Each structure stands twice: as C-alpha cells, then as structure tokens.
C-alpha cells in the first residue's frame, strides 16, 4: 500500500516508531545522563486506548510498520496486550520491538503470540564486567537468558544492535560476529550519535579516535568475503552477508554518512509528541488536541500537516544545533 503521508521531499512515511515509555531499567552512559530527572509525568503518557487510536489513524494514512521502543518498552505494564491490540489494527503488517533484553525471558512468549515477530536487542558488549560499567547494572545473565529464550521461541530475524564506542567495545566486533553466527542472529553496528547530553559527551569523547565504522566494515568484508544483502526491516541500515548466508551485518552510520534521503519514518513519544526527525527538534503535540476533543479527522489533518514539515535532514554535523532530548525520550 502506498502512504498518503508524503513529505515535501517526496518521501513516503510508512514507519512509526512508538515509544511506550521514556523510562529504562538501565543507564547506558551514552544514553540517559547520571541522575537524570526529566522523565515525563505518567499523567502525560498516552494511555493504551490513545496509542491505539493514533496508530489506527496512522495506519489509515498508510503507515504499515510499527516498532515498539522506549526507554525500555518491556518496563511498561501490559506491553504484551498493547502489542496484541496493535497487531490487530487493519493496515499494520509489521510489528517489531526494540529491547535491552533484561526482561525478555519473561515476555518473549506473550510478545510472539501477540504478533511481534522481529526483535532488535541492544547488546554493546559480551563482557559482563563491561556490561555493568556501561549500564550501571549486573544484567549480563538476564540479557543472555532473554536472547536464548527469544531465539528458542522463533523470533526472526533477531538483530543485535551494537553501538560502537571507540576504546570501549571496538575490540569485540569479531567476538560479537561469532556470537551472532552461533545464534543465527544479524549483527548491526551503530555509530554513536550526539543525541542528548550523554550522547553528545560520549560522541565528543570518542570523536577523534582512529577506529571508525567504515574501517570495521572493510575489515569484516575481507574476513568474511561479504557481499551486499537485503534483510527484512524498515530501517536505514545497509547490509552485507557472507556467501554462505551465515553471517549478516548491518551498518547504521547516521553521523558519517547520513541516509536522510530515504527516511521513511517518524517517532511518536510516550507523551504524544510526534517527532519528525531524530536529529532535529521539529515536533507536533498530538496528545493535547486529542485530550481537548479533536476528532479523528482533526488528528488526521494534523498528522498530514506535520509530515509536510518533516525536515530534509538531521543536524548531527552542525555543532550549532544540539539535540537536547535524550534518545530514550524520543524512542531510538
Ligand atoms: N531500550 C530499548 C533498547 O535497548 O533497544 C529501546 C530504546 S534504546 C534508546 C534504542 C537504541 O538506541 C539502543 O540500541 C541504544 O543503544 C541506542 N542509543 C541510545 N543512545 C544512543 C546514541 N547516543 N547513539 C547511538 N545509539 C544510541
């Protein structure tokens, strides 16, 4: 189905990232700042009924893919029921979820039954000590357990999201590749983005270090004879695969090589604010008009008008424009 949602650069919007909470049970040091106090009031959180209403309107406008994210989506009570309800909305053909995996062993079975078939799991390190340093919590065992359970249940594909942090985990790329091959999962290497105070700090701190995503890609290409591949998903990664198909790796190099020309998505935060670009502050609040009685037609028009305002590209490389929202707030 083609989307009615076309921005002023002729990009069709078919993909909605839905943040169901801005809270997280981890404190990855490039994501949520230490002692962060600006979480949104739960009164401002969209209820499940409100989320379902907005998703129905988006679906009616041609959005077919939804990714549940956050914060950590599995910390929102009833997430499996929400997933089931969203999967039943006419027009939604692809429901996926991003998680840090800490609670996955508990929820995987219900999520799968609800209709979530594709999973992205964040895993920046295989080393439990580093994991604790990065996240502030001793969660390695729970995450590995969650990954094992998800694999066993049959989610496919499972993508492992590894944010490359020069000097911290760039020596683990080969180990992570081996881990993904062993578990039949796809590795995705993500460039650190200067989003929020922590993202900016981490980005600055590692900016001048020699290793970069392109050098890592070249090394993997040589090692595995990688050729380009097409992998299911609505996102911006470009993929390479080994000739025997056992190893697939995606690269998300949003900073060094933007892919804004093909952007097909917007993000709805838990407070009902529609973010038109991860790397810009352009936004429209849908919660307020909805709570003041806007009709579906009103909301539909607001969404169409908002999409027309979608910026051409992010501003990660423009130091004068800083994205102050944290990634967990927008829904990464
Ligand atoms: N909690 C879920 C998870 O861990 O996947 C969903 C939300 S989390 C914000 C989504 C993704 O954003 C994670 O893979 C995380 O590593 C990534 N992320 C957070 N801050 C980032 C940054 N500054 N640069 C690049 N990726 C970032």
Instruction: Provide the token pair at 290.
Output: 């909805």
Tell me the mean pLDDT in the region 128-154: 97
Q: Residue 173: what pLDDT?
A: 97
267 CA → ligand 1 middle, Å: 14
- Pairing type for strands 283-285 and 118-122 reads unpaired
pLDDT, the chain, mean:
92
Residue-level pLDDT at 42: 97
* pLDDT tens readout for residues 179-221: 999 999 999 999 998 877 777 767 777 665 545 888 999 999 9
pLDDT at position 137, please? 97
Residue 70 CA: nearest ligand 1 atom is: 7
- Out of 66, 72, 122, 279, give the residue to mutate to test ligand 1, the one with the largest number of ligand atoms within 8 Å of its CB: 122
Contact 217, 233 (CB under 8 A): no
The predicted pLDDT at position 238 comes to 87
How far apart are the CA of 195 and the centre of ligand 1, in A? 10
Whole-model pTM?
0.94
Q: Which of 16-20, 277-281, 304-308 has the lowest mean pLDDT?
A: 277-281
Q: Which of 206, 327, 328, 329 has most ligand 1 atoms within 8 Å of its beta carbon, as the pocket-test mutant?
A: 327
Region 5-15: what's the mean pLDDT? Answer: 95
- In the chain, what are the domains? 15-330 (3.20.20.70)
Q: What is the DSSP string of 223-287?
A: HHT-EEE--S-SSS-EEEE-TTSS-EEEEE-TTTS--GGG--EEEE-TTSEEES-TTS--EEE-H
Give pLDDT, residue 1: 60
Question: Is residue 157 reached through a cis peptide bond, with omega within 30 degrees of 0 on the bond before it?
Answer: yes
Which ranges of 88-242 would DSSP assign to H, the alpha helix? 104-114, 128-135, 140-153, 173-183, 196-206, 213-224
- 27-60 pLDDT, tens digit per residue, is 999 999 888 999 999 999 999 999 999 999 999 9
pLDDT score, position 2:
74
pLDDT above 70 coverage of the chain, percent: 95
What band does 320 get if pLDDT is binned at 50, 70 and 90?
low
Run of H or E including 87: helix 79-87
From residue 148, alpha-carbon distances to 75, 97, 180, 246 in Å are: 20, 16, 12, 18
């Amino acid at each position: 189905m083609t989307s009615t949602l076309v921005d002023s650069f002729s990009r069709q919007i078919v993909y909605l990232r839905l943040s169901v909470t801005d809270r997280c049970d981890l404190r990855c040091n490039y994501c949520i700042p230490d002692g962060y106090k600006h979480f949104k009031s739960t009164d401002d959180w969209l209820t499940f009924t409100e989320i379902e209403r907005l998703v129905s309107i988006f679906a009616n406008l041609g959005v077919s893919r939804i990714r549940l994210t956050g914060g950590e989506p599995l910390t929102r009570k009833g997430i499996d029921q929400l997933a089931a309800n969203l999967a039943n909305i006419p027009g939604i053909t692809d429901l996926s979820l991003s998680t840090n995996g800490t609670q996955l062993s508990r929820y995987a079975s219900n999520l799968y039954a609800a209709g979530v078939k594709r999973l992205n799991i964040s895993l920046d390190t295989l080393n439990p000590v580093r994991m604790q340093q990065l996240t502030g919590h001793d969660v390695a065992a729970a995450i590995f357990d969650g990954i094992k359970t998800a694999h066993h249940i049959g989610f496919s594909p499972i993508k492992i999201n590894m944010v490359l942090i020069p000097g911290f985990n760039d020596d683990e790329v080969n180990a992570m590749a081996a881990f993904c091959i062993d578990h039949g999962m796809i590795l995705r290497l993500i460039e650190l983005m200067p989003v929020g105070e922590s993202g900016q700090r981490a980005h600055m701190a590692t900016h001048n270090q020699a290793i970069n995503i392109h050098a890592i890609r070249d090394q993997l290409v040589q090692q595995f004879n990688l050729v380009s591949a097409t992998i299911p998903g609505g996102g911006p990664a470009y993929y390479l695969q080994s000739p025997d198909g056992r190893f697939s790796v995606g690269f998300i190099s949003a900073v060094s090589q933007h892919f804004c020309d093909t952007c097909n998505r917007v993000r709805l935060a838990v407070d009902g604010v529609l973010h038109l670009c991860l790397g810009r502050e352009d936004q429209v609040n849908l919660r307020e008009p909805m709570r003041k009685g806007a009709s579906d037609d009103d909301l539909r028009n607001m969404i169409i008008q908002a999409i027309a305002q979608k910026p051409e590209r992010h501003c990660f490389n423009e130091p004068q424009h800083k994205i102050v929202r944290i990634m967990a707030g927008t829904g990464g």
